[in-house]
């Protein structure tokens, strides 16, 4: 798998559904450059089972992300029409009605491929026919992208394993803490806890205070 941390996030222009039902023909992350961080997350399929729990979990925390100056964007390999249809279905029927952040349609699978979260493989057989092994859908990838468009954190789960949205918020807090204070975030750091200086003395002082 490609490690994108420290590199420019792959850019794209694609169809998307925003604000719970509006179609956008040329959605791009460029709109956030210099203004907002982005939590970009990939999920396998519309109208499935683990996926709506994740999409609603991000929606439930959307105000917290936005209050920190962070945009949340979801992506799957479904079409924009599929996204729109799922957005019309009530939560109690397995739908995602009420989700308002953008849902990008990666129908060509190029976005998932460029972020290296596309499951399955393709090959040409002896008859020069294109074949696939496994479904060409996205793993549960998550990327924290800073205001300059650089990936600062990435996490990829296999299809059955739902994500922890609070952990995504913690990583936002950690990056913002570092940017604002110039201190690094030790193991199990969370907002409100002390950071430390990135020096031998700083590590020694932190360990002496916090690790028995």
Residues with a known catalytic role: 51
165-181 vs 50-60: helix crossing angle, rounded to 10: 40
Residue 62 CA: distances (Å) to CA of 30, 69, 70, 166, 193: 20, 11, 9, 11, 23
E strand intervals along the chain: 14-18, 22-27, 37-42, 70-76, 103-105, 121-124, 130-133, 140-145, 151-157
Give the tokens for residue 140. Answer: 């549960």
Answer left, alpha or beta for residue 174, where phi above 0 means left and psi between -120 and 50 means alpha.
alpha
How far separated are the first and last CA of the chain, in Å rounded? 37
């Amino acid at each position: 798998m490609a490690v994108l941390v420290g590199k420019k996030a792959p850019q794209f222009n694609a169809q998307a559904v925003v604000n719970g039902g509006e179609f956008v023909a040329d959605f791009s992350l460029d709109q956030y450059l210099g203004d907002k961080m982005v939590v970009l997350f990939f999920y396998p399929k519309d109208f499935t089972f683990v996926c709506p729990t994740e999409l609603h979990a991000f929606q439930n925390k959307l105000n917290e992300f936005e209050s920190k100056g962070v945009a949340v964007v979801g992506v799957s390999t479904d079409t924009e029409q599929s996204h729109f249809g799922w957005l019309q279905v009530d939560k109690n029927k397995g739908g995602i009605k009420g989700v308002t952040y953008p849902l990008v349609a990666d129908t060509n699978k190029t976005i998932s491929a460029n972020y290296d979260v596309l499951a399955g493989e393709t090959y040409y057989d002896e008859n020069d026919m294109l074949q696939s092994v496994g479904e060409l859908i996205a793993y549960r990838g998550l990327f924290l992208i800073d205001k300059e468009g650089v990936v600062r954190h990435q996490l990829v789960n296999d299809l059955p394993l739902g994500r922890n949205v609070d952990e995504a918020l913690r990583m936002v807090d950690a990056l913002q803490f570092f940017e604002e204070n110039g201190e690094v975030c030790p193991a199990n750091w969370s907002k409100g806890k002390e950071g430390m200086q990135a020096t031998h003395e700083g590590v020694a002082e932190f360990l002496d205070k916090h690790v028995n």
